[in-house]
Amino acid sequence: MIGAIEAGGTKFVCAVGNPDGTIIDSTAFPTTTPDDTLAKVEAFFAKHPIEKLGVGAFGPINLRAGSENYGMIEKTPKIPWRYYPLMEELEKRLSVPVAIQTDVVVASMGEYEYGIGKHAASCLYITVGTGIGAGLVQDGKAFQGRNHSEMGHVLLQKHPDDAFEGACPSHGSCLEGLAAGPAIEARYGIKGAELADEDHVWELEAYYLAQAIMDYFVILSPEKIILGGGVMKQEKLYPMIREKFMELLNDYIEVEDVEALIVAPALNDEQGVKGCIALAAKS
């Protein structure tokens, strides 16, 4: 059996399953201190012996090939986890080989192997939630450079009617600072879910997401672009984003079917754990 951990900043999901993507059992608990959280991880896998483990972790995390701190959480705002050697600890406590990637790369892997991207050569999975991140899986492998991508921080053109200064502490107007859930909340003083009927909110949201997707598209040329995360619960965003993306692209690159290009996930919040299974199965 293969183990999976979706190691999120607010909760951990542990699961066991098979390489075909079936999940046999799973559990979830809040992310507290490393010791307390990993004790719960150990307890779950004590009941379910595994051969290998796949992990999708919150970040930033060291994924630099050859680094002696490979698999270590880096300078996160979650102080107890700062510089915590997550991969090494899991290998030690569970005595199995561990494959680790970012949370969004494993989500991409899950959709690529078992979900909406099953017949595509490459999938870009974008999560629009508390933060914005994206991960590319191409020809069955996670794409990654010297370290993992930070795609949520691409720089955007501000909308002329948007006076909000951006919520990213590092960049005036990056995608995450302008379009993640907390940016919506900071701009209007109201949570996204309660703004469902305010059309201009979603116009602006689609405007920013379409710009970023245009950049990802011309750079990475993915076959599927999957948009997930809390903010995408606003399903009306999909057609709006597709329309604005096609406007921005302006026929520069042929897109035969934008509805098949920009899509919703198919795995119902299970793309993360299933992606961990796939990651471990391939390693």
Contacting ligand ADP within 8-67 (CB under 6 A): 8, 10
**Is the CB of residue 107 less than 8 Å from the CB of residue 135?**
yes
Name which of 94 and 183 has its Cβ closer to ligand ADP: 183
- Whole-angstrom Cα distance, residue 256 to residue 106? 28
Distances (CA, A) of 221 to 19, 129, 224, 277: 28, 24, 9, 26
What residues pair up with 2 in beta bridges, in sequence order? Answer: 17, 52
Pick from 31, 101, 122, 271: which binds a second copy (CB under 8 A)? 122
The alpha carbon of residue 190 and the mean position of all alpha carbons in its chain are separated, in whole angstroms, by 24
Based on the shown chain and the rule CB under 6 A, indicate whether residue 181 belongs to the binding site for ligand ADP. yes
Binds 50: which of a second copy, Zn ion, ligand ADP, none (CB < 5-8 Å by kind): none
Nearer to Zn ion, 174 or 227 (CB): 174
Q: For residue 138, which phi and psi values (nearest 5 degrees)?
A: -135, 130
Indicate whether 182 belongs to the interface with ligand ADP (CB under 6 A).
yes
Distance of CA 21 to the CA centre of its chain: 18
Give residues 178-217 in contact with a second copy (rule: CB under 8 A): 211, 214-216
Q: Would you give the distance in Å from CA 155 to the centre of its chain?
A: 19
- From the list 153, 158, 159, 282, which residue makes contact with Zn ion (rule: CB under 5 A)? 153
- Give phi and psi for 30, each to the nearest 5: -70, 150
> Shortest distance, CB of residue 196 to a second copy, whole angstroms?
28
Q: Which does 26 bind (CB under 5 to 8 A by kind): Zn ion, ligand ADP, a second copy, none?
A: none
Q: Report the interface residues with ligand ADP, using CB under 6 A.
A: 8, 10, 129-131, 181-182, 191-193, 229-231, 233-234
